[in-house]
């Protein structure tokens, strides 16, 4: 039940975000005097609508987005009433059209920024000094945090009554103890501890040296078994390895909380990190298509492959089911930021395509005026339709591919 609730909540959050995206277009268009005739949440058959002034507001039967109709978005629109010609969008200055067309993405950015600021002052944002890679983590001192159990499989989940108890807890080790040796092998950092554990078999007894409050000590315990990939190949085949039932206890916290003022700077810094991450993720999309196909045809799903709204909603469901609300809201932030950036790509029918054409027209008019030639006028959108259809076809195929992968072989972060 909690999983389904999480799926519904995340899907609802996405729907609200997209509806606000369209509301951003509508609000800015109305502010500049453009005529907006329709604003609907959803697509398909109309379930409810009402007329307020010159705009019809309503809800449609397929809750997969929304739209608003601005009169005369392009000079080729043939449904503009002659009385509305002066208010046609394409007649307005380019800077006004740019604001209207970018208002949707700005809304997504605003949602992400507000959510990040609230998280910064309430539960904290990821600490930039916290080890972010396995290599960095393994260089940390082998200070341990006890796990309540050892999960036998290679998944992240809560402990159950059937899971074996943590061998470290049975050996009377405590949170904050620093492991210094295992079976006589010196342990200088957490990477050394992992290497030493891989050198013994599950079920073997291990002699453990440690330091607690500055005082050395020794203990012993029988190691449990779990499944892990090779240390030098995190994406390799998992196999049985010995487990002590501990995790690293880093000297720096994973998250940092900020005051109301400091949260603005922290939010800006984290947004910059997201911008870089989004750029890198978008660059990798073409090379991830074969991995998606592999996942659909029975291969293992790479956690680094793109996900659709379906996949994001499923992850939201997992987050709620495992009481990982921090992950839920981080997914919400990341998705809004990604949609905001993606929508600004200079490709039709995306908003960024309309913005690019508007500025192309402006630059071309300026250049022709400088060289004494007649203004060529507006771009003919009809001539761009083949390119627009190609973008729609490619985008639709990719969306279908990700949705299929998310249904057949979804990414999971927790064991259900």
22 is catalytic: yes
CB atoms inside a 10 Å sphere around CB 334: 16
* Token couple for 252: 């720096």
CA distances 307 to 101, 243, 323, Å, are 26, 32, 22
CA distance 42 to 52: 19
109 CB-near residues (< 8 Å, 6+ apart) = 336, 337, 340
Give the N- to C-terminal CA distance of the chain in Å, as an integer. 12
Region of 293 (left: φ > 0; alpha: ψ -120 to 50; beta: rest) is: alpha
* Token couple for 95: 């800077």
* Token couple for 413: 């972060």
At residue 277, the 3 state secondary structure works out as helix
Helix ranges (DSSP H) in 199-349: 262-296, 309-321, 325-342
CA distance 112 to 118: 10
33 CB-near residues (< 8 Å, 6+ apart) = 87
101 CB-near residues (< 8 Å, 6+ apart) = 25, 351, 352, 354, 355, 358
Q: Identify whether the C-beta of residue 359 lies closer than 8 Å to the C-beta of residue 94.
A: yes
Q: Identify whether the C-beta of residue 150 lies closer than 8 Å to the C-beta of residue 241.
A: no
Closest to 416 (Cα-Cα) out of 177, 221, 156, 226: 156
Q: What are phi and psi of 208, to 5 degrees?
A: -120, 125
* Token couple for 388: 């627009």
* Token couple for 91: 């007649």
Active-site choice (22, 318, 321, 361): 22
Q: Identify whether the C-beta of residue 314 lies closer than 8 Å to the C-beta of residue 9.
A: no
At residue 144, the 3 state secondary structure works out as strand
CA distance 56 to 231: 60
CA distance 13 to 325: 14
Catalytic residues: 22
């Amino acid at each position: 039940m909690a999983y389904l609730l999480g799926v519904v909540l995340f899907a609802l959050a996405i729907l609200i975000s997209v509806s606000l995206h369209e509301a951003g277009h509508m609000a800015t268009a109305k502010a500049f005097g453009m005529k907006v005739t329709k604003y609907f949440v959803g697509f398909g058959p109309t379930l409810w609508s009402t007329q307020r002034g010159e705009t019809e507001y309503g809800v449609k039967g397929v809750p997969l987005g929304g739209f608003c109709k601005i009169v005369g978005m392009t000079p080729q629109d043939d449904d503009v009433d002659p009385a509305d010609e002066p208010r046609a969008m394409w007649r307005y200055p380019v800077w006004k059209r740019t604001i209207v067309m970018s208002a949707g993405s700005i809304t997504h950015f605003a949602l992400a920024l507000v959510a990040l600021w609230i998280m910064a002052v309430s539960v904290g944002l990821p600490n930039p000094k916290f080890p972010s890679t396995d290599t960095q983590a393994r260089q940390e001192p082998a200070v341990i945090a006890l796990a309540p159990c050892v999960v036998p499989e290679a998944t992240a989940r809560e402990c159950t009554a059937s899971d074996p108890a943590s061998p470290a807890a049975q050996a009377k080790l405590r949170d904050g103890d620093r492991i210094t040796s295992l079976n006589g092998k010196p342990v200088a950092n957490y990477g050394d501890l992992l290497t030493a554990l891989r050198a013994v078999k599950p079920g073997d007894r291990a002699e453990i040296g440690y330091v607690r409050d500055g005082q050395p000590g020794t203990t012993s315990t029988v190691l449990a078994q779990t499944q892990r990939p090779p240390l030098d190949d995190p994406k390799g085949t998992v196999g049985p390895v010995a487990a002590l039932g501990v995790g690293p206890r880093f000297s720096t916290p994973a998250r940092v909380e900020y005051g109301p003022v400091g949260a603005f700077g922290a939010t800006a810094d984290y947004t910059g990190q997201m911008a870089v991450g989004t750029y890198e993720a978008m660059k990798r999309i073409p090379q991830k298509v074969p991995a998606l196909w592999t996942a659909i045809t029975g291969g293992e799903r790479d956690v680094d492959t793109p996900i659709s709204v379906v996949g994001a909603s499923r992850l939201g469901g997992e987050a709620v089911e495992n009481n990982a609300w921090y992950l839920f809201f981080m997914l919400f932030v990341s998705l809004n930021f990604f949609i905001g950036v993606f929508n600004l790509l200079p490709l039709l029918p995306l908003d960024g395509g309309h913005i690019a054409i508007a500025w192309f027209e402006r630059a071309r008019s300026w250049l022709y005026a400088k060289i004494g030639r007649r203004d060529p006028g507006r771009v003919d959108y009809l001539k761009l339709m083949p390119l627009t259809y190609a973008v729609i076809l490619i985008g639709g195929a990719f969306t279908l591919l990700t949705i299929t992968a998310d249904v057949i072989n979804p990414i999971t972060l927790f064991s259900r």
